[in-house]
Structure 1
Amino acid sequence: MRGNILAFALGVGCLQLQETLPALSLVAGLLIGGALLLLCCGRWRHALGRIATAIACAMLGLAWAALLAGQRLLDQLPAEWEGRDVQVVGVVAALPHAFERGERCAFDVEAVATPGARLPRRIMLSWYHGWREDEWRDAPLIRPAERWRFTVRLKRPHGNANPHGFDYEAWLFERGLRATGYVRPLAEAQRLDDFVLRPAYVIERWREHIRSAFFRVLPEAPYVGILAALAIGDEQAIPAAQWRLFRQTGVTHLMSISGLHVTMVAALFGGLVGWLWRRSERLMLFLPAQKAAIAAGWFTAFGYALLAGFAVPAQRTVYMLSVVALALYSGRNLGASRSLLLALLAVLLLDPWAVLAPGFWLSFAAVGLLFFVGTARLGASRGWRAALANWGATQWAVTLGTLPLLLLMFQQFSLVSPLANAFAIPLISFMITPLALLFTVLPWPPLLYFDHWLLSGLMGFLEWLAIWPVWEQPAPPLAATLVAVLGVIWLLLPRGFPARWLGLCLLLPVLFSPAERPLVGEAWVDVLDVGQGLAVVVRTAGHNLLYDTGPLYSAESDAGQRIIVPYLRASGIGRLDSLIVTHRDKDHSGGIVAVQEAVPIARTLSSLPELPGERCQAGQVWEWDGIRFTILHPDAAAYGHQAARTNHMSCVLRIENAFASILLTSDIEARDEQALLDRAAPLLRSDVLLVPHHGSATSSTPDFVAAVGAREAIIPVGYRNRFQHPRPEVVERYSGSRVWRTDRDGAVRIRLASGLTLSAYRAEYHRYWHGQ
């Protein structure tokens, strides 16, 4: 059975790697063929029969995942209705989350009033409040379970596509959010019903009531957002600074409702019910205390998951606990590995996209390691020393066992994580979270005061630990990660097993895998997909340069922390030899603070007088590893007078080797292009051009385009941006070039060597849900 479940999981995972879904006829063939093969070979006991059965299960897993995926893809926004006003009636389906200029929520579409329009059943809506006060009005607050009539403008799910980046489209797809958009500000918005009576909406309204109670009792408390997150899963209330602290100490998984919390709370409540149950002879005769504890624990887990909004991670935990609870309740001893794999099967049957989530793999790895270590220590002596030794062994196993996955997925690991978790796990799971949950049913303020006091002590301890460094490294190869997993298993074998130290040797490749670098005379230039903005990473054999830092998305989010810094870390770039901030506009300089805080910077060039460093000006030249860098704009005289637009001060950089050249132009406009033609026309000829100002009509004059004569033109642009970049007439001017667009192609990599090679990330990493 174990092998068959793993084969089914392999089939499900294989489907999630496909660029397109298989045809319905092929899916039907896999279903029928897999079922027949399973019936014919399922009873064979020899090796050939077991192999045939595993193949049948893999076929069924792939077909099952394909059927569910095909069904979800049918519920999509037609391309012709992107960016058009549509009047809808629906219900606010989940707890709204506030952001800098408004609120965002999931919205269940009940009716579409616009003739001919067809929308998905569930969408993600943003409602901006008073963004442009001369044109937009303040919007009323929205509450869960309210029915509204809105005029909305939608687009298909779309996210930034970068190597080692977060797949936002997969996240939306798994949650059934099949379009995103915003409420039109000048159109009428009408609340039709204050409360729609449906079970899911009742729970969401209850969650809102609880959140309000937390902030009403502790309005100015620094950690009230954490308590709300632990109780109802509202992670948006936790400030960015606190999230950074959690990452530095390796306890991020504890600050939101995870499988660990649900399991711990269920175990705590189940144990309490079992203890009380044994005190009543009548109850014991009615139902054994062990079964009563199991049932109480399961209902607690289910209720806690509902209180958390029944988010996908909580759902997976409930599915897993359901399998374990049924096995224990029936009195059958399935064994640790069989119980874990049955839970895996239950999760994948209901949520085949779970394999896309890092948390899914980390949860199963952690639970599997606990079973592995716990089984090895059965029969150990009792007493407080033994309990302490078991606790230490558990911390050691989970820390060491999840290390390869953490390095593969996040390329960093907190060195103080074992110590931080040793204190944080029991305190949060058995005291802070239960007290927060108790407040939801017994809203007595002293409970929350005491809970916040406990949390404050823990946060002080974490701040003390945060002074220690975090291990960071390039993303290791998959082969090195698999070898490290074998090393972990070897190290965690029972005491007395010979040569356990060899496991450490198997861990070395994942810890010290060097980052790939260009050769001398070569350069790798990556135009990252940061939306409507610009960020370009340049690598030579021994040097690194960052050209612009991307946009500022909100008061607490920018391209630096979300895209650039993770990309630098995964690529093994721990130091910038040069940072060029071309001009002041927030779509080019928005991520500068995050970059400065994350990596040391040897030299800063910019046109910003307030930014420490050097001014970039025409004539600056340097050479790294056989690659020549030249600043072409602005000239020194431009700093003597105030430019009408900051775009005119954009730093223009030319990169070349003996065979080809690249011209990075930032946001220069027509007059700057003419100045370059007058001053440095011979230097403009380049093989690759970063199209000026995102393809705006104010740039890319015909004379400039002809003078550059680029074979390849790259337009850094946001998907369906409000500026309508790039303009069609500008794209037409580049008809003689091959045109790349970051909104369509994702990150674009240029390899400047003896030849010139360009590749797009979306072409290399394309999945069936992308663009759907």
Structure 2
Amino acid sequence: MSDAAGTPLFGVGAAAGLVGGATACLLLPWLLPWPVALIGLVAGLLAWVRMPRWRWAGALLAGFMLAGLHAAHGLALQLPGGLDRADLLVRGTVVDLPVHEPRRTGFLFEVDDSAESAPALRGRTVRLSWYLHGRSAARPELRAGERWSLRIRARAPRGLRNPGGSDAEKHALAQRIAATGYVHAPATARRLAPAAGLEAWREGMADRIAASAPTTTSRFVRALALGDTRGLDDTDWNVLRANGLTHLIAISGFHVGLVAGFFALLARAFGWLVPALARRCPMPALAAGSAFAGALLYAAAAGFSLPTVRTVLMIAAVAGARVWRRPATATQALALAAVAVVLVDPLALLQAGFWLSFAGVAWLLWCLPGTGERGLPALARSFVSAQGVATVGLLPVGVVLFGQASLAGPVANLVAVPWWSLVVVPLSLVGLAAESLIEGLGAWPWRLAAWCFDLSWPMFDWLASAPLALWWLPEARWFALPLAIIGAFWLLMPRGLPGRPLALLLWLPLLWPDRRLPAHGEVELQVLDVGQGLAVVVRTANHSLLYDMGPAVPDGFDAGERAVVPALHALGIGRLDLAIVSHGDSDHAGGLAAVRRAVQSDSTLAPEGSGVEASRPCVAGQTWQWDGVTFRVLHPTPHFPYLGNEAGCVVRVESRHGAVLLTGDIGEVIERELVRREPDGVKADVVMVAHHGSGGSSDPMFIRATGAQHALVSSGHGNRFGHPKPAVVARWHESGAAVHDTAIGGALRVSIAANGISIETRRKAQPRLWDAVARSGPMDAGLSYRP
């Protein structure tokens, strides 16, 4: 549709404005009041439709306001803070495939509107865990599509905030998840109705694939046919990431497009065989409708996951243009699809898949115009060129979204895209269709699909083991992405353009960013947000030290893998000069194994008797210097027995501009002993509050002896211990110290430099509109306890 001047109502300009407006809204740390947003949305839509010359501006305003309304609604759905950890009775349906782990079962639960359910969660979706308590605990027989009555404890979505870490709160908002929690009283849980519906069918089919193709590769067949990735372990995902193949697993948008194209070809063939049908229904309309139907069926098999729904909307937009006989180029079709996706769900822009899919198609349309050549050689050249364009064009987006680049990706995709997409996926879907008609008929296609997949996997496993297969990059500044995109455009310009190699200079801020390293004689600390545990990264000009590695639960959450390793990558630390484990408790040493797997460490110190393997004893008196900064161990003394917390390794870090004291989990007895034995050693400008601010630490005499300006607390948000204790916070306040807590502000960046001591919280440095802190008041409030 276009106006008299020929400006398309849903053209490239309108699409760019709509996407740009929605993106701008989601990047801001605040939201407009909903009445203002509603008025702005109406004004924007009117300008979009009625003012052709300002159509792009109207679309931009409409996108901004629409995204704001959706975000406000999504946040309003979340559980109020006053109900955190309250016992709630809910009735509802398991709406996704339950993930069974050794010690828990995780699942999505859609709460009914019935009067029996807690009012705060009626009609909302929550993410729950059903934990197994004790070795003899029976695993719950939980199936997708079942209705249950459960007593739960839940809270509003809350995640860790660290450099390089994923944002759980953003993901919850995009998924419209109202709360996260766990089944509080498993004995009272009651199944109200057996499994039924689409999700029950998906789980049943997944079980049949596992039974029909009893090889380890059947997990990939389940992923490609049903989007069921529950069988993939960490090793599988590491291989896929190293090869840049995660986009092909779990029913990618590309595969949905292939199915849609296959259905369109079937419709054309059927129309050719039945001419009477072609006379009644125009062939373009028949093909478009069939393509949409095929995409819809495949999306249903995937449980209408967001990537598939996004692709279905794109196909629906293009199919609609064909049915209504609106001439549209490939670029106009892409713009129409973008408009459709944003109008239906502007929060889709919070998903990495949106940017990768649209950016990938846009790059190909711009760089690979049709040449008119036909035949297999031309097709092969086009495919190789497409891989080159995708590699160069999507590299900046991938680095910003994931902090990594797959150097093996171009080679791996040359094999995986045609082999998996044209052989493995069709066989998997043939088995799915056959099994749906006659039970047992899908076994042979599934076995053949698994065998074909097995032929390719050893190659990808070998590529992933190459030293440079996966390239981790430090976190870059905000301007690095636009500069790199400009550089990509310049680099992909026609060959005759002079100065194309100079485009690589624009990539330097992204590929070689400023790591904000301290100068000689200065020191920086990053107290990571690891929940109820501790992990501190200490950097000097040329050295890095890691003090504790965060908590880890067997077969469960591992802060070393989820928080510490991504933070080290984001900080550009590929090798640790020293790792110190304060003591052997799991909330401090649990993440050590994950850190050792990912990052090389020259040496490890730990108290003797702590059980930390491959470590040297941490003993008072040890001292060393790095880049003008002195490190000294104050505790434990030689021959001190291992007593858990009380034997913790206490380290003093001193520069010419200030000192830091890292205390682990020591208690009041050891604190008083340090004051007596090391009166000058405990003096520090910044102190890590011992034992997460428990009532058994932070002795008043010790606090006075430190003379600290800043006290740092590492604790979990809403932890069951109540750390830090209010009395402890009050004692530090009375001494004149400001108390900063990772549970409130996320990771803490402490800089001790020539210009003084500064402390920056992650949530304040990078505020987001979905932050609970941001919604509770001004961004400069609530991020620390102040005297």
* TM-score bracket relative to the smaller structure: over 0.9
Superposed, 1:590-601 pairs within 5 Å as 590-601=590-601
Question: For residues 714 and 747 of structure 2, what CA distance do their matches in structure 1 show?
Answer: 9
Letter in 2 for 1:365: A
**Structure 1 residue 271 and structure 2 residue 265: aligned?**
yes
Question: Is the 1:711–1:738 contact (alpha carbons within 8 Å) kept by the matching residues of 2?
Answer: yes
Look up the match of 1:228. Answer: 222
Look up the match of 1:411. Answer: 403
Look up the match of 2:371. Answer: 378
**Structure 1 residue 26 and structure 2 residue 28: aligned?**
no
Shift of 1:745: 0.9
Look up the match of 2:761. Answer: 760
Question: For residues 113 and 281 of structure 2, what CA distance do their matches in structure 1 show?
Answer: 49
Shift of 1:550: 1.3
Look up the match of 2:393. Answer: 401
Look up the match of 2:204. Answer: 209
Shift of 1:133: 5.5
Look up the match of 1:532. Answer: 532
Look up the match of 1:258. Answer: 252
Question: Is the 1:127–1:139 contact (alpha carbons within 8 Å) kept by the matching residues of 2?
Answer: no
Look up the match of 1:681. Answer: 679
Question: For residues 401 and 711 of structure 1, what CA distance do their matches in structure 2 show?
Answer: 48
Classify 1:296/1:53 alpha carbon distance in 2 versus 1 (closer, same or farther; 3 Å): closer
**Structure 1 residue 670 and structure 2 residue 637: aligned?**
no
Question: Is the 1:108–1:122 contact (alpha carbons within 8 Å) kept by the matching residues of 2?
Answer: yes
Question: For residues 117 and 189 of structure 2, what CA distance do their matches in structure 1 show?
Answer: 19
Question: For residues 651 and 222 of structure 1, what CA distance do their matches in structure 2 show?
Answer: 45
| Alignment match of 2:428 (pick from 420, 431, 436) | 436
Question: Is the 1:696–1:726 contact (alpha carbons within 8 Å) kept by the matching residues of 2?
Answer: yes
Letter in 1 for 2:64: L
Question: For residues 31 and 412 of structure 1, what CA distance do their matches in structure 2 show?
Answer: 37
Superposed, 1:1-12 pairs within 5 Å as 1-12=11-22
Letter in 2 for 1:126: L
Shift of 1:392: 1.0
**Structure 1 residue 660 and structure 2 residue 661: aligned?**
no
Out of 363-372 and 742-751, give the one that drifted further: 363-372
**Structure 1 residue 246 and structure 2 residue 247: aligned?**
no
Question: Is the 1:407–1:413 contact (alpha carbons within 8 Å) kept by the matching residues of 2?
Answer: yes
Superposed, 1:53-72 pairs within 5 Å as 53-72=55-74
Superposed, 1:346-357 pairs within 5 Å as 346-357=340-351
Report the 3-state secondary structure (helix = DSSP H, G, I; strand = E; otherwise coil) of the residue aligned with 1:717: coil
| Alignment match of 2:446 (pick from 445, 448, 453) | 448
Superposed, 1:137-536 pairs within 5 Å as 137-138=137-138, 140-185=140-185, 188-195=188-195, 202-219=197-214, 221-375=215-369, 377-379=370-372, 381-443=373-435, 444-468=442-466, 469=468, 470-494=470-494, 496-497=496-497, 500-536=500-536
Question: For residues 540 and 307 of structure 2, what CA distance do their matches in structure 1 show?
Answer: 41
Classify 1:669/1:91 alpha carbon distance in 2 versus 1 (closer, same or farther; 3 Å): same
Question: Is the 1:519–1:540 contact (alpha carbons within 8 Å) kept by the matching residues of 2?
Answer: yes
Question: For residues 711 and 236 of structure 1, what CA distance do their matches in structure 2 show?
Answer: 49
Shift of 1:29: 4.1
Out of 120-129 and 719-728, give the one that drifted further: 120-129
Question: For residues 32 and 448 of structure 1, what CA distance do their matches in structure 2 show?
Answer: 51
Question: Is the 1:265–1:429 contact (alpha carbons within 8 Å) kept by the matching residues of 2?
Answer: no
Question: For residues 285 and 697 of structure 1, what CA distance do their matches in structure 2 show?
Answer: 83
Classify 1:259/1:750 alpha carbon distance in 2 versus 1 (closer, same or farther; 3 Å): same
Question: For residues 123 and 212 of structure 2, what CA distance do their matches in structure 1 show?
Answer: 37
Deviations 1:260-289 (A, max 9, x none): 221122223433443344233333333344
Question: For residues 311 and 351 of structure 1, what CA distance do their matches in structure 2 show?
Answer: 13
Question: For residues 630 and 206 of structure 1, what CA distance do their matches in structure 2 show?
Answer: 62
Question: Is the 1:409–1:475 contact (alpha carbons within 8 Å) kept by the matching residues of 2?
Answer: no
Letter in 2 for 1:450: L
Shift of 1:520: 1.2
Look up the match of 1:47. Answer: none
Report the 3-state secondary structure (helix = DSSP H, G, I; strand = E; otherwise coil) of the residue aligned with 1:337: helix
Letter in 2 for 1:341: A
Question: For residues 657 and 158 of structure 1, what CA distance do their matches in structure 2 show?
Answer: 36
Question: Is the 1:714–1:741 contact (alpha carbons within 8 Å) kept by the matching residues of 2?
Answer: yes
Question: For residues 115 and 357 of structure 2, what CA distance do their matches in structure 1 show?
Answer: 44
Shift of 1:546: 1.0
Report the 3-state secondary structure (helix = DSSP H, G, I; strand = E; otherwise coil) of the residue aligned with 1:179: strand
Question: For residues 464 and 537 of structure 1, what CA distance do their matches in structure 2 show?
Answer: 33
Question: Is the 2:523–2:538 contact (alpha carbons within 8 Å) kept by the matching residues of 1?
Answer: yes
Look up the match of 1:198. Answer: none
| Alignment match of 1:700 (pick from 695, 698, 705) | 698
Question: For residues 121 and 715 of structure 1, what CA distance do their matches in structure 2 show?
Answer: 38
Letter in 2 for 1:166: S
Look up the match of 1:769. Answer: 770
Question: Is the 2:112–2:122 contact (alpha carbons within 8 Å) kept by the matching residues of 1?
Answer: no
Question: For residues 602 and 721 of structure 2, what CA distance do their matches in structure 1 show?
Answer: 35
Letter in 2 for 1:31: L
Question: For residues 536 and 203 of structure 1, what CA distance do their matches in structure 2 show?
Answer: 46
Question: For residues 281 and 413 of structure 2, what CA distance do their matches in structure 1 show?
Answer: 37
Classify 1:702/1:113 alpha carbon distance in 2 versus 1 (closer, same or farther; 3 Å): farther
Question: For residues 405 and 472 of structure 1, what CA distance do their matches in structure 2 show?
Answer: 14
Question: Is the 1:104–1:124 contact (alpha carbons within 8 Å) kept by the matching residues of 2?
Answer: no
Deviations 1:7-27 (A, max 9, x none): 222211121122221123432
Report the 3-state secondary structure (helix = DSSP H, G, I; strand = E; otherwise coil) of the residue aligned with 1:118: helix
Classify 1:522/1:316 alpha carbon distance in 2 versus 1 (closer, same or farther; 3 Å): same
Question: Is the 1:653–1:664 contact (alpha carbons within 8 Å) kept by the matching residues of 2?
Answer: yes
Shift of 1:456: 1.0
- Consecutive unaligned residues in structure 2, runs of 5 or more: 1-10, 436-441, 776-787
Question: For residues 433 and 202 of structure 1, what CA distance do their matches in structure 2 show?
Answer: 24
Question: For residues 444 and 57 of structure 2, what CA distance do their matches in structure 1 show?
Answer: 59
Shift of 1:455: 0.9
Identity value in percent: 36
- Consecutive unaligned residues in structure 1, runs of 5 or more: 44-49, 196-200
Letter in 2 for 1:704: F
Shift of 1:598: 2.0
Letter in 2 for 1:12: A
Report the 3-state secondary structure (helix = DSSP H, G, I; strand = E; otherwise coil) of the residue aligned with 2:661: strand
Superposed, 1:27-106 pairs within 5 Å as 27-35=37-45, 37-38=47-48, 42-43=51-52, 50=53, 52-106=54-108
Classify 1:256/1:116 alpha carbon distance in 2 versus 1 (closer, same or farther; 3 Å): closer
Report the 3-state secondary structure (helix = DSSP H, G, I; strand = E; otherwise coil) of the residue aligned with 2:254: helix
**Structure 1 residue 582 and structure 2 residue 550: aligned?**
no
Question: For residues 556 and 420 of structure 2, what CA distance do their matches in structure 1 show?
Answer: 26
Question: Is the 2:111–2:117 contact (alpha carbons within 8 Å) kept by the matching residues of 1?
Answer: no
Question: For residues 284 and 374 of structure 1, what CA distance do their matches in structure 2 show?
Answer: 33
Report the 3-state secondary structure (helix = DSSP H, G, I; strand = E; otherwise coil) of the residue aligned with 1:676: helix
Classify 1:123/1:742 alpha carbon distance in 2 versus 1 (closer, same or farther; 3 Å): farther
Shift of 1:243: 0.7
Shift of 1:494: 4.3
Report the 3-state secondary structure (helix = DSSP H, G, I; strand = E; otherwise coil) of the residue aligned with 2:715: coil
Out of 138-147 and 505-514, give the one that drifted further: 505-514
Letter in 2 for 1:185: A
Deviations 1:383-431 (A, max 9, x none): 2221211111111111111111122222321222111001101111111
Question: For residues 580 and 324 of structure 2, what CA distance do their matches in structure 1 show?
Answer: 66
Question: For residues 225 and 419 of structure 1, what CA distance do their matches in structure 2 show?
Answer: 24
Question: Is the 1:531–1:743 contact (alpha carbons within 8 Å) kept by the matching residues of 2?
Answer: yes
Question: For residues 47 and 612 of structure 2, what CA distance do their matches in structure 1 show?
Answer: 71
